[in-house]
Structure 1
């Protein structure tokens, strides 16, 4: 009975020593490590989507009235715009009429009611600039062939800009034509008198 009692007292003293030595120096009842930090590696992944648009206040807009008569006058005009893209992009152009068209009726042979003109597109990127040129006739929705940037723009249609563009101010659309040639496709033709118009629509899309 006494031996058991002494053994219990000794065990209690040992446990008390362990409890009291938790913050003490390394010893019989405390296991210490040279480096007591634990490195936990948790991989975190994320992505950023492509964003491409015309910059605020920098969308292509405006109108142009050609001075003089288009059958005797060479003319040209630029429309500036600014692109805001964090990715490669495509810009497309669509011509409503495929040329400058009059609403006047064409009743006599040898007269035309549509005049051709050219459209040039220049895109100003952060590190790369690209350009292209098309006849307006190839930019109409009904045109049989795509000259290179007929819209609407998509991931596969339009003039391709290979990198981002932010705040670059050199992008522009240029419309122009020499004095209208009276000989078209081997026949002598004349533009009928009247007012001629066309509308160009420019669109942009991210092209990842």
Structure 2
């Protein structure tokens, strides 16, 4: 029997806010230049808030899939995502094994790793969305997938708008029945996906 187990690890990146100091402006009049004993005071207050971004409480994709004989039946499962991002964001995924791999030693002519796909769909509060699909093999270290690695200002799938609601965002893992030239050795197959999110300019 061949079984797979896939686990997810979600990591939220930094959330920050900054305020500029308040500034006061005071004008005083000398005798004969203005109202007697009067002081004109103007206070100008300025502040700014940088974009914040992370997973909403309980909104990080989490869980696992455990399917028997996946080489024959294939598999597909969605993991819901809810963001808490006040502006544009990027989300990235990395794969520990670059496929469903087994610790069982492979006999001559048998395979020990099965391919599968990872799809992302993230939706903004205004209804716009970003989607992409990559092979797990391209999500391992040095992989070529557009959302591979750790999310950063220029790394990961970019969602242009704010997203703070449960609006249908998800991560999907899937594979058809195995069609590789070398049959898979019997055993338990597994991979771990790490998901990160960051603010984006």
Normalising by structure 1, we get a TM-score of 0.73
**1:113 maps to 2:106:** no
Larger Rg: 1
Give unpaired runs (5+ residues) of structure 1.
1-32, 183-187
Which protein, 1 or 2, shows the higher relative CO under an 8 Å CA cutoff with sep ≥ 6?
Answer: 2
Q: Which residue of 1 aligns with 2:76?
A: 76
Deviations 1:149-203 (A, max 9, x none): 1121111111000010011331100000000003xxxxx3111111100011111
Q: Which residue of 2 aligns with 1:126?
A: 125
Aligned partners of 2:165 and 2:142: how far apart in 1? 34
Give unpaired runs (5+ residues) of structure 2.
1-34
| RMSD, matched Cα | 1.9
Aligned partners of 2:52 and 2:198: how far apart in 1? 8
- 2:65 aligned counterpart, secondary structure: coil
C-alpha contact (below 8 Å) 2:107/2:185 kept by paired residues = no
Normalising by structure 2, we get a TM-score of 0.76
Query: What's the CA shift for 1:91?
Result: 0.4
Number of aligned residue pairs: give it.
164
Q: Which residue of 1 aligns with 2:161?
A: 163
Could you list the structure 1 runs, at least 4 aligned residues long, displaced by more than 3 angstroms after superposition.
Answer: 38-44
Q: Which has the higher helix share?
A: 1
C-alpha contact (below 8 Å) 2:125/2:167 kept by paired residues = no
Q: Which residue of 2 aligns with 1:196?
A: 189
- 1:71 aligned counterpart, secondary structure: helix
